[in-house]
C-alpha cells in the first residue's frame, strides 16, 4: 500500500533523507526506528504530503503522493509527534471539525465522531475543552481526529510519546486491531520496546538512510553473524583483554553494567567456533565463572546501528 | 457551512464571549455614538452681525446623526479592520507554527475554501461586535436622512476593504516566520499598503488612493453630510476640495467612478493575495508568487501607473495635491513645473523599483530551492530547470520586469516630450538611456544577491547599499554641505533611486539655472552611480555563476 522509492529530501545542503526505499503492505504495521535526526519525521511528513521531496516517488496504492496530493490526502491519516489541538474547541467539536472537512454529512459525522471517541476512550471527555486535557489525553484526541475519516493509510509519528503505560498498551491494541481490519500503518518511534510487540516489520534509519528493514525475525537472524558473548571471570581482566586482542574474530571487550568482572565481547566468527573460544580461554589461564551467548535483540542492533558499529547492506 | 467558519464560531462565540464582547461593543458604541450625536445636534454659537452678540443656533438631530455617522464608521473600522486584521494574522501564524495548519492542509478541502474559512471564521467575534453597531447605524441613516444608495456604495466598499485587509493578514500569517510578529507585521503592512501608499495618490498616482474606503467616503458621504451640516457654514473649504477630488478618477483619457475604481483596485489585490494564499496552502515551502503570477501582477501595476499618469505627462493635468497646485497655476514658472515633473517621475521610478525588489525577494529562489532544482534535473537527466519553475533562476523574470518598467517610462517621456505643457528641450535618448542602464544594472545585482544569500544577507546588502549612503550624505550635508557637494552627490548616486531625479536635473540644468559646478558634480555622480551598479552587477553575477558551476 505504501511504496517509497529513491526518496531524497534536502534542507539546503543537508540531506535529511537519502535515497530511501521501502514498502509497507496493506494490513501491516511498519515501524520506523532510528535515533533523533535519523530522518523518520521528515519521511513521514513527505508521505503525508507536507514536505515536497527533492525527488523520489511515493505511492499509496495507485495514487502518487507527489502528483496527486489531493487524492492522497483523502486516504491518509496523519498524527504528528507532538499534540497540537485547538485549545478552545471541545473534544467532540475537534473531531467533528475534521469529519466535516473531509466532506461527511452531519449524520455521518455524528456516527464517526462517536466511534472515534469510543475507540480512543474519550467518550467521557467529549464535552471538555481541548486545552484542559493532559498531554496524553491530547494525544488520544489527536488519534480520534485521525480516525474520524476512516483513512486506509495511517502515519503516526511517535504515537506513544506522551502516553502512560496503560494508554500505550491500549494504543498498541487499537493499532493492531486497525491493521487487522486492513489499514496500512506506518509508525515511528525511538522506543523500541513499543514497536517490537506492535510491528510486523521494522526499518532502522540512520543519517537519512535505511540501514536495515524487514520482519523482526529476519533482522535478528541476519544479526546472528555478529553476536555478543557474555563472560564472567575471577581475577584480573588484563589477561582477558590481551587474549581477546589476539583472537581474530573477537572484538570490543566491554565491561557489562559497570561490573569489573563481567564482560561483553563481540564475536563475528562462525557459531561452531564458540566452544573452541571457551576452551582456549580456560587453557590460557583465564578463570571463567560463566560464559553465555546472548541472543541478539533488535534493541542491541539498534544501539549498534546508532553507535555506527554495525553496517548492513540494505537491499 | 464551511467547517472552518463553524470552528471559528465555536471557538470565539461561546456564551461567555457573547456576553463579554456584546457588552463591550454596546457600551463603547453607545458612548461614542451618543456623545457624537449630542455634540453634533447642539446649535452652534455664532455672532449676530446686527447685535454683535453670541447667539446659539437651533438644535438639529439631523446634524447630530450625520456627525455621529462618521464616528460610528470609525468604530466599525476599528472592530473589523484593526482588531480583526490582527487576530487573523496572529492566529494564522500561531497555527502554522504549532502544526495545526498542517492538519487543515491535509484535509481535502479546496485551498480557496480554507482561505474563506480562515478570513471569516477567525474574526467571528469582531463580526459579532460589529452587529451591535447596526442599530446605531440604522438610527444615523434614518435620523440623518442619509441616502440609502450612498450608504450601500460605502458599505460595499467597506466590506470589500475588510475582506482585503483580512486576506492580507492571512497571507502575512502564512508568510511571516515568527507568529508573535505576525499580528503587528500584518497591521504595519495594512497601514503601509492601505494608508501610507494611498498618500501617494496626492502626487498624481491616483489609483493608489483607491486601496481604502476613503475615496468612497469622501466622494459619496461627505458631500451629503456637508449639504445640511455645519461644515457648509464654515469658511474653510478644504473638505469641499477633497470632495471634488474624489468625484471621478482620471484614467488614460477617460474617467471612472471612485466606487468602481475601488472595486477594481481591491479586486486585483484580492486576486494577488488569493494566489499567494492558494500556493501557501498547497505547500508552505513554495514562494508566495509564481514567476508567471509576478509577471501578470507587475504588468497590471504598470498599466495602472500608465493610466493614472497619462494625462499628467500628456497635458500637465493631474489629480491630488499636484493636480490642485497645477490647476491653481501655482507652478506657473517653467522650472517649478519641471520640478513637479521630476517629482512624479521619481515617484513612478521608485515605486516600480521597490515593487521589483519585492518580487525579486519573493520569486527568485534562495540557495536551498535552487539546489533542489539542480538535484532534480541531475536525477532525471534534464538539460535545464524550466524557466518558469520556482527553482529556476529569477534573472529572466527580473529582466522582463525591468523591460516592462522601461516601456512604461519611455511611453511617459514620449508623451512629455511631445506635450506643449512641459516644453522639454531634452531628447528621448538623453532621457531614457541612463535610467535604462541604471535600472537594468540594479535589478541584475539585486537578483544575484537574492540568489546568493539568504533573507538576512539580501536585506542587509540592500540596506547597506541603498540606505547607509543616504544617511551618510545627510550627515555630511548638514555638517559640511557646501564644500563636499561632490561627495554628497556621489553617495546619493549609490542608490539607484536617486539617480533618476539627479539625471533629470542634469538634463534640465539650463531651465533650473543650476550653477556649472553643480551640473558637473551631478554628471560625475551619475557616472559614479552607474559604475558602482555595474561593478556590483558583474561581481555578484560572476560569483553566482561560479558558485553554481561548482
Digit-coded pLDDT (tens) for B253-312: 888 777 777 778 788 888 888 988 898 888 878 888 999 999 999 999 899 889 888 888
Q: Quick check: B7 and A80 CB within 8 A? A: no
Q: Using CA coordinates, name the residue in chain A closest to B369.
A: A12
Q: Is the pLDDT of residue B468 over 90?
A: yes
**Separation between Cα atoms, residue B394 and residue B454, nearest integer Å:** 15
Task: Give contacts of A100 with chain B, Cβ < 8 Å.
Answer: 3, 6
- Residue B276 lies inside a defined structural domain of this protein: yes
Look at residue A313 in the predicted model and tell me its pLDDT: 46
Least confident residue range of A106-115, B243-252, B362-371, B478-487: B243-252
Closest CA to B94 of B74, B110, B118, B70: B118
Give strand ranges (E) for B128-248.
none
Distances in Å between the alpha carbon of B56 and those of A287, A315, B296?
119, 98, 60
- Residue B219 lies inside a defined structural domain of this protein: yes
> Starting from the edge strand earliest in sequence, which strands make up the sheet with A262-267, in order?
A250-255, A262-267, A227-234, A287-294
pLDDT band at A299 (very low <50, low <70, confident <90, very high): low
Q: Is the pLDDT of residue B234 over 50?
A: no
Q: In a mutagenesis test of the B interface, which of A56, A98, A101 is the best target, namely the one with the most B β-carbons within 10 Å? A: A101
Spelled out in words, what is the top-level CATH class assigned to the domain A225-295?
alpha beta
* SS3 state of residue B29: helix
Provide the ipTM: 0.73
Look at residue A222 in the predicted model and tell me its pLDDT: 65
User: pLDDT tens digits for A17-73?
Assistant: 988 898 898 888 998 888 888 888 999 999 998 888 888 889 988 888 888 888 888
Total residues belonging to chain A: 315
Look at residue A159 in the predicted model and tell me its pLDDT: 82
User: pLDDT tens digits for A150-171?
Assistant: 899 999 988 877 777 777 887 8
Q: How would you label B128-140 residue by residue, b for 16+ Cβ within 10 Å and e otherwise?
A: bbbebbeebbebb
Range A2-221 has CATH code 3.40.50.740: no
Q: In a mutagenesis test of the A interface, which of B1, B107, B283 is the best target, namely the one with the most A β-carbons within 10 Å? A: B107
Q: Quick check: A97 and B7 CB within 8 A? A: yes
**Separation between Cα atoms, residue B457 and residue A310, nearest integer Å:** 42
More confidently predicted of B79 and A312: B79
What are the residue boundaries of the structural domains of chain A, listed by start? 2-221, 225-295
Q: Using CA coordinates, name the residue in chain A closest to B10.
A: A89
Q: How would you label B434-454 residue by residue, b for 16+ Cβ within 10 Å and e otherwise?
A: bbbbbbbbbbbbbbbbbbbbe
Q: Pick left, alpha or beta for residue B68 (phi over 0 → left; psi -120 to 50 → alpha; otherwise beta).
A: alpha
- Residue B421 lies inside a defined structural domain of this protein: no
Q: Is the pLDDT of residue B329 over 60?
A: no
Look at residue A224 in the predicted model and tell me its pLDDT: 57
- Residue B49 lies inside a defined structural domain of this protein: no
Look at residue A184 in the predicted model and tell me its pLDDT: 92
Look at residue B537 in the predicted model and tell me its pLDDT: 96
Q: Within 10 Å of residue B72's Cβ, how many Cβ atoms? A: 22
pLDDT band at B236 (very low <50, low <70, confident <90, very high): very low
Q: What angle do CA A28, A30, A33 make, to 5 degrees?
A: 165
Q: Is the pLDDT of residue A13 over 90?
A: no
Q: Pick left, alpha or beta for residue B464 (phi over 0 → left; psi -120 to 50 → alpha; otherwise beta).
A: alpha
CA quadruple B352, B353, B356, B357: dihedral, nearest 10: -140
Distance from CA of B99 to the nearest CA of A (A): 7
Look at residue B1 in the predicted model and tell me its pLDDT: 86
Q: Is the pLDDT of residue B212 over 50?
A: yes
pLDDT band at B322 (very low <50, low <70, confident <90, very high): low
Look at residue B231 in the predicted model and tell me its pLDDT: 45
CB B256 within 8 A of CB B248: yes
More confidently predicted of B268 and B525: B525
Look at residue B237 in the predicted model and tell me its pLDDT: 53
User: pLDDT tens digits for A114-151?
Assistant: 999 988 888 888 888 988 888 778 888 888 998 898 89
Supply A99's cell numbers: 469529519
Supply A13's cell numbers: 545542503
Least confident residue range of A87-96, B91-100, B209-218, B484-493: B209-218
- Residue B36 lies inside a defined structural domain of this protein: yes
pLDDT band at B505 (very low <50, low <70, confident <90, very high): very high
Look at residue B230 in the predicted model and tell me its pLDDT: 47
- Residue B497 lies inside a defined structural domain of this protein: no
Look at residue A315 in the predicted model and tell me its pLDDT: 40
In eight-state DSSP terms, residue B188 is H
Look at residue B288 in the predicted model and tell me its pLDDT: 87
Q: Which domain holds residue B215?
A: 3-44+57-229+238-286
**Separation between Cα atoms, residue A128 and residue B331, nearest integer Å:** 71
Total domains in the fold of chain B: 1
Look at residue B493 in the predicted model and tell me its pLDDT: 94
**Separation between Cα atoms, residue A230 and residue B278, nearest integer Å:** 61
- Residue B152 lies inside a defined structural domain of this protein: yes
* SS3 state of residue B483: helix
Contacts of A249 (CB under 8 A, 6+ apart): A267, A268, A269, A273
Q: What is the pTM of this model?
A: 0.78
Q: Which of A55, A90, A98 sits opposite B107 (nearest CB)?
A: A98
Top-confidence range, A180-189, B51-60, B371-380, B489-498: B489-498
- Residue B155 lies inside a defined structural domain of this protein: yes
Q: Quick check: A8 and B98 CB within 8 A? A: no
User: pLDDT tens digits for A247-289?
Assistant: 888 877 778 777 778 888 888 777 788 888 888 888 888 888 9
More confidently predicted of B531 and B267: B531
What average pLDDT does the segment B80-105 reach? 87
Amino acid at each position: 500500500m505504501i511504496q517509497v522509492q529513491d526518496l531524497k529530501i534536502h534542507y539546503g545542503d543537508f540531506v535529511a533523507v537519502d535515497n530511501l526505499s521501502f514498502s509497507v503492505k496493506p494490513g501491516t504495521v511498519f515501524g520506523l526506528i532510528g535515533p533523533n535526526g535519523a530522518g523518520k519525521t521528515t519521511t513521514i511528513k513527505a508521505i503525508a504530503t507536507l514536505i515536497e521531496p527533492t525527488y523520489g516517488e511515493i505511492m499509496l496504492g495507485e495514487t502518487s503522493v507527489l502528483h496527486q496530493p489531493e487524492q492522497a490526502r483523502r486516504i491518509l491519516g496523519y498524527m504528528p509527534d507532538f499534540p497540537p489541538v485547538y485549545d478552545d474547541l471541545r473534544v467532540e467539536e475537534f473531531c467533528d471539525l475534521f469529519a466535516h472537512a473531509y466532506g461527511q454529512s452531519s449524520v455521518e459525522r455524528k456516527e464517526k465522531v462517536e466511534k472515534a471517541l469510543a475507540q480512543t476512550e474519550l467518550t467521557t471527555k467529549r464535552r471538555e475543552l481541548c486545552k484542559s486535557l493532559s498531554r496524553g489525553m491530547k494525544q488520544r484526541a489527536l488519534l480520534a481526529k485521525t480516525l474520524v475519516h476512516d483513512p486506509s493509510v495511517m502515519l503516526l509519528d511517535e504515537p506513544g510519546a506522551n502516553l502512560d503505560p496503560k494508554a500505550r498498551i491500549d494504543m498498541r491494541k487499537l493499532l493492531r486491531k486497525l491493521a487487522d481490519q486492513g489499514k496500512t500503518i506506518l509508525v515511528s518511534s525511538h522506543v523500541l520496546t513499543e514497536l517490537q510487540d506492535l510491528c510486523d516489520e521494522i526499518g532502522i534509519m540512520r543519517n537519512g538512510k535505511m540501514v536495515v528493514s524487514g520482519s523482526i525475525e529476519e533482522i535478528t537472524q541476519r544479526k546472528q553473524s555478529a553476536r555478543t558473548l557474555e563472560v564472567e571471570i575471577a581475577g584480573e581482566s588484563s589477561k582477558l583483554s590481551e587474549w581477546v586482542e589476539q583472537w581474530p574474530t573477537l572484538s570490543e571487550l566491554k565491561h557489562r553494567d559497570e561490573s569489573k568482572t563481567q564482560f561483553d565481547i563481540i564475536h563475528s566468527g562462525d557459531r561452531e567456533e564458540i566452544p573452541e573460544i571457551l576452551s582456549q580461554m580456560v587453557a590460557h589461564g583465564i578463570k571463567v565463572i560463566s560464559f553465555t551467548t546472548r541472543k541478539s535483540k533488535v534493541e542491541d542492533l539498534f544501539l549498534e546501528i546508532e553507535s555506527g558499529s554495525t553496517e548492513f547492506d540494505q537491499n | 457551512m464551511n467547517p472552518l467558519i463553524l470552528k471559528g464560531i465555536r471557538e470565539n462565540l461561546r456564551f461567555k464571549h457573547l456576553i463579554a464582547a456584546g457588552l463591550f461593543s454596546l457600551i463603547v458604541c453607545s458612548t461614542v455614538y451618543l456623545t457624537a450625536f449630542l455634540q453634533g445636534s447642539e446649535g452652534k454659537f455664532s455672532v449676530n452681525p446686527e447685535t454683535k452678540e453670541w447667539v446659539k443656533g437651533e438644535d438639529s438631530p439631523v446634524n447630530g446623526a450625520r456627525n455621529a455617522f462618521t464616528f460610528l464608521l470609525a468604530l466599525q473600522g476599528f472592530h473589523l479592520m484593526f482588531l480583526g486584521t490582527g487576530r487573523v494574522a496572529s492566529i494564522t501564524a500561531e497555527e502554522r507554527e504549532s502544526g495545526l495548519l498542517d492538519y487543515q492542509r491535509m484535509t481535502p478541502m479546496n485551498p480557496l475554501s480554507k482561505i474563506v474559512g480562515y478570513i471569516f471564521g477567525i474574526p467571528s467575534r469582531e463580526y459579532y461586535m460589529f452587529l451591535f453597531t447596526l442599530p446605531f447605524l440604522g438610527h444615523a441613516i434614518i435620523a440623518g436622512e442619509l441616502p440609502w444608495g450612498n450608504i450601500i456604495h460605502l458599505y460595499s466598499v467597506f466590506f470589500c476593504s475588510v475582506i482585503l485587509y483580512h486576506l492580507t493578514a492571512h497571507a502575512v500569517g502564512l508568510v511571516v516566520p515568527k507568529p508573535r510578529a505576525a499580528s503587528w507585521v500584518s497591521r504595519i503592512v495594512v497601514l503601509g499598503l492601505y494608508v501610507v501608499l494611498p498618500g501617494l495618490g496626492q502626487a498624481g498616482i491616483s489609483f493608489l488612493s483607491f486601496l481604502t474606503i476613503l475615496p468612497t467616503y469622501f466622494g459619496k458621504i461627505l458631500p451629503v453630510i456637508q449639504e445640511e451640516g455645519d461644515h457648509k457654514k464654515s469658511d474653510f473649504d478644504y473638505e469641499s476640495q477633497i470632495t471634488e477630488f474624489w468625484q471621478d478618477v482620471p484614467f488614460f483619457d477617460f474617467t471612472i467612478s471612485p466606487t468602481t475604481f475601488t472595486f477594481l483596485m481591491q479586486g486585483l489585490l484580492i486576486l494577488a493575495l488569493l494566489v499567494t494564499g492558494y500556493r501557501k496552502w498547497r505547500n508552505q515551502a513554495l514562494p508566495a508568487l509564481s514567476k508567471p503570477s509576478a509577471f501578470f501582477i507587475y504588468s497590471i501595476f504598470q498599466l495602472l501607473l500608465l493610466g493614472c499618469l497619462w494625462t499628467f505627462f500628456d497635458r500637465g493635468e493631474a489629480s491630488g495635491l499636484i493636480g490642485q497646485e497645477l490647476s491653481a497655476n501655482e507652478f506657473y514658472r517653467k522650472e517649478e513645473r519641471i520640478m513637479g515633473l521630476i517629482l512624479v517621475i521619481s515617484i513612478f521610478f521608485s515605486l516600480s523599483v521597490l515593487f521589483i525588489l519585492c518580487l525579486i525577494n519573493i520569486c527568485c529562489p534562495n540557495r536551498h530551492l535552487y539546489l533542489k532544482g539542480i538535484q532534480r534535473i541531475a536525477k532525471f537527466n534534464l538539460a535545464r530547470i524550466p524557466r518558469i519553475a520556482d527553482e529556476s533562476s529569477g534573472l529572466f523574470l527580473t529582466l522582463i520586469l525591468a523591460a516592462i518598467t522601461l516601456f512604461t517610462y519611455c511611453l511617459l517621456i514620449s508623451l512629455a516630450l511631445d506635450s506643449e505643457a512641459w516644453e522639454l528641450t531634452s531628447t528621448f535618448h538623453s532621457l531614457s538611456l541612463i535610467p535604462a542602464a541604471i535600472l537594468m544594472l540594479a535589478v541584475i545585482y539585486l537578483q544575484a544577491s537574492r540568489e546568493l544569500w539568504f533573507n538576512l544577507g539580501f536585506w542587509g546588502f540592500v540596506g547597506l547599499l541603498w540606505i547607509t549612503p543616504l544617511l551618510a550624505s545627510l550627515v555630511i550635508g548638514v555638517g559640511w554641505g557646501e564644500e563636499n557637494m561632490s561627495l554628497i552627490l556621489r553617495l546619493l548616486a549609490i542608490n539607484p533611486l536617486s539617480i533618476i531625479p539627479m539625471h533629470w536635473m542634469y538634463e534640465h540644468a539650463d531651465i533650473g539655472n543650476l550653477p556649472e559646478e553643480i551640473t558637473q558634480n551631478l554628471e560625475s555622480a551619475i557616472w559614479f552611480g552607474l559604475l558602482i551598479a555595474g561593478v556590483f552587477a558583474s561581481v555578484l553575477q560572476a560569483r553566482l555563476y561560479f558558485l553554481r558551476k561548482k
